[in-house]
Amino acid sequence: MPRPLLPLLLTALLPLAGCATAELAMPSGMAATTTRYPVSGLSPHRAGEPIRFGPFSALEMREGSRFGWELPVAGLAQLRQRWAYTQVAPGQMPVESQCQARARMLRHADAHGALQLDLDDAAGRPVLACGFRLDDGRLLTLELQRDGHALQGRLHAPDGDFEIRSLHALRGTPLASGTALGYALTRAGKTVLVVDRVNAGAVAMAEPLDEGQRMGLAAAASALLLFDPEFGEG
């Protein structure tokens, strides 16, 4: 599902970063105790292949194809994709997860150039919406909206919400990517989860968290790894 992450952009920024490989710049406010888990199954990602990081796995992957339509005369277009999976970890309650990405665009092109307006962004509708049901019946929901080049939203949980914002900076360079390179989830000013989509990917999770929080955040991390931040653009 996710496309390779802007290899030309990363190659261009590497000399400025002064390092052999590109690395996501970690946000401020990280918890003193944070565990970083490398991701497998993201880059490249093959349909139906599990996403794994640390003890967490997104299994039973059910990924729909991108479906879209366009009315060239009116300049209207819509793109939609759905996927579902079960987030698991040894000794932890499973989380049934379902997501939908949707984008509606108004396009116009003439001899002077091309213009695209994101209708969902203008109406305040999310480009990504997910639901996560824990085995004990608790329900979490995630919404992500575009804000220019950035993405922002919330993970709604029974014990309080987490704010989500996209990350665009690479370590060691002042330049920022126009496409999201990762995401930070914060609560009360503290960053509790970072989803890194650069290269093979990684997930950094604050400690300590209770079982429900860990599994809910892990399910949200898998959704953000699977979501293409360029969905509906271009």
Average pLDDT over residues 67-74: 53
145-166 residue pLDDT tens: 998 889 999 999 999 999 999 9
The SS3 of residue 212 is helix
134/148 Cα distance (integer angstroms): 33
Report CA Rg, the chain: 18
Average pLDDT over residues 128-148: 93
**Is the predicted pLDDT of residue 91 greater than 50, yes or no?**
yes
Domains of the chain, by residue range, sit at 7-226
**Is the predicted pLDDT of residue 212 greater than 70, yes or no?**
yes
222/219 Cα distance (integer angstroms): 5
**Is the predicted pLDDT of residue 24 greater than 60, yes or no?**
yes
159-189 residue pLDDT tens: 999 999 999 999 888 888 989 999 999 999 8
Q: Are 125 and 78 in contact (CB under 8 A)?
A: no
14/22 Cα distance (integer angstroms): 6
